[in-house]
Amino acid sequence: MSEQLGTLEELPEDYRADMTAAGVAPLWPMMRNVLPHGAPNPVTRPGFWSYAAIRPLLQRAGELTPVEKAERRVLVLSDPGRGAGAMQATASIYLGLQLLLPGETAPAHVHTPSAVRIVVEGKGGYTVVDGEKLPMEEGDLVLTPGGEWHDHGHEGSEPVVWLDALDLPLFVYLEGSYATEGPLQAQRNRPDASQVEYLSSGLAPTRKHGAGTRRYPMMRYPWTRTEAVLNEMAAYTDGDVAELDYVNPETGADVLPTMGFTAMRIGAGQVDNPPLRSSSAAFHVVKGRGTARINFQTIEFGPKDTFTAPVFADIRIAAADDTYLVRVHDRPLQDKLGYYEERAK
């Protein structure tokens, strides 16, 4: 197995010039860049974003830029491997912290990428997706799937902040990313599906013969229920990390085509030491504190912080307090492409 399959420099200069003129390039000098041996060679580096450091910057954005001017008032979490200004946190995952002030509305739009919100702080925020008003409480996970109209509003008295996770980098890469703007949506006068049809796991509204189900039947996953299940699981498992996948209640499939979400509870003193996964991931701390080691980087994390792990990262998370995380990952995409993989450490 050769690491070096010949260099460009060893080819005659006239041949190189003729190739360039003809619009071609030799594969072999570049072969190991695009097909490295055994495992990918990620550009992404582990990232850590302290909420305490970003919060004042968000507040300042609120003073500097009215939401009408920003459309979305967001500070993007830039992958250290790609450097300042990078519009992505891993190869496939975009993360941003969005601020909405009391009384503000962020205009309605629809776009090709899918988004998820994980609420970081504040009461009274909501997102309207396809006419359904979704209240946003701390830790709630709210979907805005690609192709669904959405606008955000705020009826409370304190700033509301949430973490946006989008599959935007994929759509940019595919040259398929765009948005369309429209007027604020009329809201249906009823609570969202998580409070009515899908109030209880294992129960779904009766399927009417011949009528299909909606592709995204439930768009809000209230944190209080997620935490209650994690706590019950922890009470009946012996020192294991409790994990729950967010799924479509009609199909059991991942909630979105490309991004997956897993709620985790690592008890005080416990360690999560998963196998190497081919997926990249972001970990958002809903509650708790501890130490994460991602490859050779050590991260001291607390509530509301976020950190990332590149593909095949060596991840070890030790919880000092009972710790609740939401892991955002691209396993659903990799499953569909048929290459998701786990390797023992």
Can you give the binding site for ligand GTQ, defined by CB under 6 A?
Answer: 72, 74, 96, 98, 111, 115, 150, 164, 166
CB of 148 to ligand GTQ, least distance (A): 10
Torsion of CA 38, 40, 41, 47, to 10 degrees: -130
Q: Which of 112, 115, 116 is CA-nearest to residue 176?
A: 112
CB of 324 to ligand GTQ, least distance (A): 23
Query: Toward ligand GTQ, which CB reaches closer, 117 or 277?
Result: 117
Query: Toward ligand GTQ, which CB reaches closer, 67 or 244?
Result: 67
CB of 277 to ligand GTQ, least distance (A): 25
Instruction: Report the half-sphere exposure of 44 (CA within 13 A, side-chain side).
Output: 28
Query: Toward ligand GTQ, which CB reaches closer, 151 or 272?
Result: 151
Query: Toward ligand GTQ, which CB reaches closer, 74 or 263?
Result: 74
Token pair 């190739």 in the structure block, residue: 19
Sort strands 125-129 and 179-182 into parallel, antiparallel or unpaired. unpaired
d(CA 100, CA 313): 34
d(CA 322, CA 154): 31
Yes or no: say if 176 and 70 are a contact pair by the CB < 8 Å rule. no
d(CA 115, CA 146): 7
Query: Toward ligand GTQ, which CB reaches closer, 74 or 315?
Result: 74
CB of 161 to ligand GTQ, least distance (A): 12
